[in-house]
A and B are shown apart, each in its own frame.
Chain A
Amino acid sequence: MPEQVIWGMEVFLNGLMAGVLYALVALGFVLIFKASGIFNYSQGVMALFAALTLVGIMEGQVPFSHLINATFGTEIHHFGWHVPALLAILLTMAVMVLLAWLVNKLVFQHLVNQEPIILFMATIGLAYFLEGMGDMMWGSDIKTLDVGLPQGINPMIDEVTYGIFGYGFFIDNLDLWATGIAAVLVVALVVFAQYTKQGRAMRAVADDHQAALSVGISLNFIWVMVWSLAGFVALVAGIMWGTKSGVQFSLSLIALKALPVLMLGGFTSIPGAIVGGLIIGVGEKLFEFIVGPLVGGATENWFAYVLALVFLVFRPQGLFGEKIIERV
């Protein structure tokens, strides 16, 4: 087998793994959009905020320490303890639920029945607020996150592929884990949405507020629940990306990569977010591998958006989105 093809296969696999991470972020968008019609621009910042909080809790950092020190002239930075990863994740989740409750109570409860563009603007505001809040609470320096997920080359895959092709594939353990976790998360979310009372109520609220009220569904409960779920997905995405490339501001920019994923998969489809993420991940890695050298590289920066543009022209509702039928 020509080595170009073998390398191509490795690139393909790595693309799949990258795609899983895109899909994770896109999933957060889909959840909120489905249940409340809000396009949540702050999803990426939520991932950053979750990762920052997780690191902060694990390291025993004192929140707002800069502010406190500047105000009172003290010098406190750490509580002096370390919290085990699992407990820290649970605590962070509690913070995300609290955040969901606050966001609904202080912002979106007052914007019920407003135009989508107004809701969208509110989420942009929320994004910048959260970003500043994250900075203020935990500081703006780049942090490493290690919750104990294995990293580095997977020797088994390396060995097996070497045995077959005479060339060992480089597949990162972390990516393998991310794939597994994402798969579990997706299955759990689908089961939740399809088969549980709360999931059914969530779909009902997404469809018609009045009707939902008339069968006894509390809109506020569902909204807080959905924002919490999105917070949970953000936390998972934050852990994966944070472990991979450090917890830093650029983490929030992965949200922008989720946009083309949503164009492909459709804003309302959970499987769509997954498939869309995989297509973008594989597409941009393969494109870079095949076409990149011909045009001087850096195609990964724009490939996803161009692909999304093509999709917008030919299939505006995405691969799995609900078909747009206008009755006249």
Chain B
Amino acid sequence: MNEMNTEGYVTEDGRKIGGVVMEMRNITLRFGGVVAIKDISFDIRQGEIRAIIGPNGAGKSSMLNVISGFYNPQVGEVWYKGERRPQMKPYQVARQGIARTFQNIALFEGMTVLDNVMTGRLRHMHAGLVAQSLWKGRAEAEEVKNRESVEKIIDFLEIQHIRKTPVGRLPYGLKKRVELARALAAEPSILLLDEPMAGMNVEEKEDMSRFVLDVNDEFGTTIALIEHDMGVVMDLSDRVVVMDYGKKIGDGSPDEVRNNQDVIDAYLGVAHD
């Protein structure tokens, strides 16, 4: 079964966006009596920066957790690369090439920056245990290749100076960057960023925005991100899904979304009936 939509579109700045990589169909997610996501559908296309925005408690993080397999929706289908995805554990989703970061940062605090980023490469290590221990044959070649790709990412995100520092000692902004590096190291088909700018000062936000754009540009990585800072999102993303109280209230280019009355109401706070 292959329903992959191959036609894409061209962005304002001339980037070619490809077909649909991931599609959410009528997703509904409940926690007991609380409906976190209500019948939401949208797609993510090859090479685009796709944002999910909305006020606090809109269900954005829940949606990201559905994509990354941390939550399983009661209703709805997830389609990935033209195939319906069966219920999966988060680690299985990760092995399929969907990498993510967390709102509250989940790093291996006791390990160095380099080791942390290397864990991102785990899905690209296939050599046998004995070969790895003895550093022979396939393992050696693999390790060298993995090192190279990791160093490239470390260079790219400008964290060379802290390569050997245990992550626990780093300030918040740098931790966020290391987390991004680890996710990138997996060479993901889709990169999920959960509030990448949360808790950052203006300068750090600018840095992070630049990195997100550069990653997309340099590696052609498809990025889906959650953010509630409207300004940042509008500058970064190609298409935006807007959520409010678990429902989708808007979907389109930043300009379309900006002029959508429902979206304006949600953000400015109009009484819900």
Contact = CB atoms under 8 A, between A and B. Distances in A.
A binds B: yes
Interface of A: 188, 191-192, 195-198, 200-201, 203-204, 206-208, 210-219, 322
Contacts of B108: 203-204, 207-208, 211-212
Contact of B120 (A206, A208, A215, A218): A215
A219 B92 CA distance: 11
Contact of A196 (B123, B133, B183, B186): B133
A216 B123 contact: yes
A216 B94 contact: yes
B144 interface: no
B94 to A, nearest CB: 4
A213 B111 contact: no
Nearest to A200: B119
B106 A211 contact: yes
Nearest to A216: B94
Contact of B91 (A191, A196, A207, A213): A213
Contacts of A188: 133
B102 A215 contact: no
B122 A200 contact: yes
Contacts of A192: 129, 133
Interface in B80-113: 89-92, 94-95, 99-100, 102, 106-111
Contact size range, B: 20 to 34
Nearest 6 A/B pairs, CB to CB: A216-B94, A211-B106, A207-B108, A213-B90, A196-B132, A216-B95
Nearest to B101: A214
A191 B125 contact: no
A224 to B, nearest CB: 14
Given A211-B108, A214-B106, A197 B133 contact: no
B110 A214 contact: no
A164 B71 CA distance: 72
B68 interface: yes
A45 to B, nearest CB: 28
Given A203-B111, A208-B107, A214 B122 contact: no
A195 B70 CA distance: 29
A322 B91 contact: no
Contacts of A219: 91
A197 B109 contact: no
Contact of B110 (A198, A207, A213, A218): A207
Chain A binding surface, main DSSP class: helix
B118 interface: yes
B133 A215 contact: no
Interface string B121-136: 0110101010011010
A204 B120 CA distance: 11
A201 B110 contact: no
27 contacts: A191-B133, A192-B129, A192-B133, A196-B129, A197-B122, A197-B125, A198-B129, A200-B118, A200-B119, A203-B108, A203-B111, A207-B110, A208-B109, A211-B107, A211-B119, A213-B70, A213-B89, A213-B90, A214-B68, A214-B90, A214-B106, A215-B99, A215-B122, A216-B92, A217-B91, A217-B122, A218-B89
Contacts of A206: 110
Contacts of A204: 108, 111, 119
Contacts of B125: 197
B106 A210 contact: yes
A206 B115 CA distance: 14
A207 B68 contact: no
Contacts of A208: 106-109
Given A196-B132, A214-B102, 16 more contacts: A188-B133, A197-B127, A197-B132, A200-B118, A200-B122, A201-B122, A204-B108, A211-B106, A211-B108, A213-B91, A215-B99, A215-B119, A215-B182, A215-B186, A218-B91, A219-B91
Nearest to B131: A196
Which one of B91, B95, B110, B115 has the highest number of Cβ atoms from chain A below 10 Å of its Cβ?
A: B91
A198 B182 CA distance: 17
